[in-house]
Structure 1
Amino acid sequence: MRVDKYLWCIRYCKTRSVATKECKKGAVRLGDAVIKPSRDVFPGDTITYRKKQVSYVIQVINLPEQRVGAKLVALYAKDVTPKEAFQQQALLKYSKDYYRKKGVGRPTKKDRRDIDGFYVDTEEE
């Protein structure tokens, strides 16, 4: 089954055309290689899909015949995304709210340096 169709069938993308665009942008990887939307996936493959600054790691269990309901996704795919990916997204959200309130405007040069320093500190740990 094509990777774009697979991502659509297991409900990671809302439409198949969105899945195709994500593949063309390079957000979908098989192993370390960026893949085209027409690439076939097989049971046992591991797909990395970057969506909203989180890299989801999806293990292909089986191939569905058609788009499946949300309750049946576990039969066809296993999400093995590390918890650190979601924690990093939460930190990013808090860092944005801490420095500037919504609607205040663009960050100043000092704010920008502070934000960059915050990211350097979290990466070193």
Structure 2
Amino acid sequence: MAEIEKLRVDKYLWAIRIFKTRSLATDACKAGRVKFNGQNVKPSHVVKIGDTYHIQKGVEKKVVEVTALLDKRVDAKTAANFYQDRTPLEETYGYKAMYHAPMLKRDRGAGRPTKKDRREIDELKNDGWDKD
């Protein structure tokens, strides 16, 4: 692969598969969801090896360190060689724990909830805190 001297941050984030499309990467940069040294970066910001970027995609936050430059989109296994994921474990597990929250769902045909059932449902919704 030829040596790349200059590479835009939006193109790099698309190539390493952080964003699905390059326009999504560009929009994230414009919206201030991509930061370098605590500062928002423009989509045309030049990426250098060793740079660390803080990226926010919805509720997910990632910290990515550039280990090599990649200008074309490749498969996920190959793309993983071009960056180092420096996301703290607390943030990684916190994001994933959101999907393991208890679901408030009743079985179909179970009938109306009793007064005791309603109190248990309310307690789950309010995390056990009384409103009194």
TM > 0.5 fold call: yes
One of 6, 9, 13 as aligned partner of 1:3: 9
What CA deviation, in whole Å up to 9, does each residue of 1:95-115 have, x standing for no partner? 4x45x559xxxxxxx88x946
Query: Counting helix residues as a fraction of each chain, which structure ranks higher?
Result: 1
TM-score normalised per structure 1: 0.72
| Ranges in structure 1 where 5+ consecutive residues have no aligned partner | 103-109, 118-125
| Residue identity opposite 1:60 in structure 2 | V
**Secondary structure of the corresponding residue to residue 67 of structure 1:** coil
* Matching of residue 38 in structure 1 with residue 44 in structure 2: yes
Q: Is the 8 A contact 2:61 2:91 kept in 1?
A: yes
How far, CA to CA, are the matches of 1:11 and 1:90 in structure 2?
19
One of 75, 94, 103 as aligned partner of 1:69: 75
How many pairs are equivalent? 106
How far, CA to CA, are the matches of 2:44 and 2:59 in structure 1?
24
Q: Is the 8 A contact 2:59 2:95 kept in 1?
A: yes
Identity %: 38
1:86 positional shift: 2.1
The 5 A counterparts of 1:101-116 are 101=105, 114=126
| Matched residue, 2:92 | 86
- The structure with the larger Rg is 2
TM-score normalised per structure 2: 0.69
